[in-house]
Amino acid sequence: MSNVVVVGAQWGDEGKGKIVDWLSERADVIVRFQGGHNAGHTLVINGTEYKLSLLPSGVVRPGKLSVIGNGVVVDPRALIDEIQRLRSAGVDVSPEKLKIADNAVLILPLHQELDVAREKASGKSAIGTTGRGIGPAYEDKAARRAIRVCDLKDPDILEFKAKELLRHHNPLRRSFGIASLDASMILNTLAGIKDELLSYAAPVWLELDNARNGGKRILFEGAQGVMLDVDHGTYPFVTSSNTLAGQAATGAGIGIGALDYVLGITKAYTTRVGSGPFPTELSDEIGQRIGQKGREFGTVTGRQRRCGWFDAVMVRQAIKTAGINGIALTKLDVLDGLNSLNICTSYDLDGESVDYLPASMRGQSSVLPCYETLEGWQESTEGARSWDELPAAAIEYIRRIEELIEAPVSLLSTSPERDDTITVIDPFGT
């Protein structure tokens, strides 16, 4: 195996940053293939914490090529700010080290304004977006009116596309009570940053093809999680892109045959940010305890995450739809000290037992979790680096999860530190 895809197997925030960083040491190229700067990764390297939103996690490691694929929507100002923050922290981010797909779509201020206006107008029905313009940018991409990175090279094309974009957006803005824009406003916004952005632009598909032909190991890094996928997630409470592993090929411009191993990142419990169904959510002291001990606050938004028991039904569904070969189980140590643990093994839907999450809004909001109770453990698992250091009850919990989700635990993470990882199956096959 030479190329690995990492995706979240729940609703995001599973701890992908640490796992991707751990894997990036073995990779030559690290690729972001979907989402935008609504995603957040926190890396802890030699005691130094890095918070990334848009840049691939490998960017903090020397000697690695980082790639932002065409499936990502790019806020140029946010990207440049993130690059500058890393440079101020001593990280080398140069055009030789970072490549941005020249056919990637740009997020503009008007996308953010529309995002916020819609959420405000939706009131209690709001989806709970980050307000960063991700959805509206993907809408423009699908409608074939988006401005892309390559358009910044051609002033005439850029002006034409800005005017076309406003033919759609200005009536929409007025309907929300937002003032109309002139094309010159978009052009002025981009004028001061286009040269720097273009310095990173490249035909990413060609870069990756050359890397693959040269025997390089490629790590594809997904954002959010499978259950936030626009097709297979808890629609409409989802993100605006496909988060499944198959999107790595489309969102990077590489053949599906290049994806050798899919690793699903999965917490030992369940969390969710924003609105939407959550069958195993806990609103009691245990839920509060998990949230406090797990420091469950969003990297990007700072919003408190909802917490609940491990949902084996949902994770098994994610494994099937995303083609996950094995999981990296994270935050096991957060469950230390609990007398007993519940795992959701099926749902009750109007008196009928179901073993999957229905597609309909009514079905998703109506399912009730059916639990199996396991014995907890009082010993600490924090920092464990071998199975011998784990309590017997913790091992039993892990093995039961494997049985229920029908996939092996390839990696086990026991703290935010990258070396506190137990390897069962190396996704790169080294």
Q: How far is CA 413 from CA 60, 148, 399, 416, in A?
A: 20, 38, 15, 8
- Of 85, 253, 114, the C-alpha closest to 180 is 114
- Three-class DSSP category at 337: coil
Instruction: Provide the 10 A C-beta neighbour count for residue 211.
Output: 20
The residue assigned the tokens 């729940």 is 10
Is 37 part of the annotated catalytic residue set? no
- Three-class DSSP category at 124: helix
**Contact yes or no for 414/294 (Cβ under 8 A):** no
Is 41 part of the annotated catalytic residue set? yes
Q: What is the 3-state secondary structure (H, E, C) of 196-218?
A: HHHCCEECHHHHHHHHHHCCCCE
Q: How far is CA 208 from CA 101, 125, 216, 375, in A?
A: 11, 41, 9, 47
- Of 234, 235, 236, 232, the C-alpha closest to 246 is 232
- Three-class DSSP category at 29: strand
Selecting among 41, 111, 169, 232, the annotated active-site residue is 41
Q: What is the DSSP string of 263-285?
A: EEEEESSEEE-SSS--TTB--SH
Alpha-helix residue ranges (DSSP H) falling in 261-373? 285-293, 312-322, 361-366
**Contact yes or no for 125/183 (Cβ under 8 A):** no
Q: What is the DSSP string of 233-268?
A: SSTTSS-SS--STTHHHHTTT--GGG--EEEEEEES
- Three-class DSSP category at 221: strand
**Contact yes or no for 114/169 (Cβ under 8 A):** yes
Active site residues: 13, 41
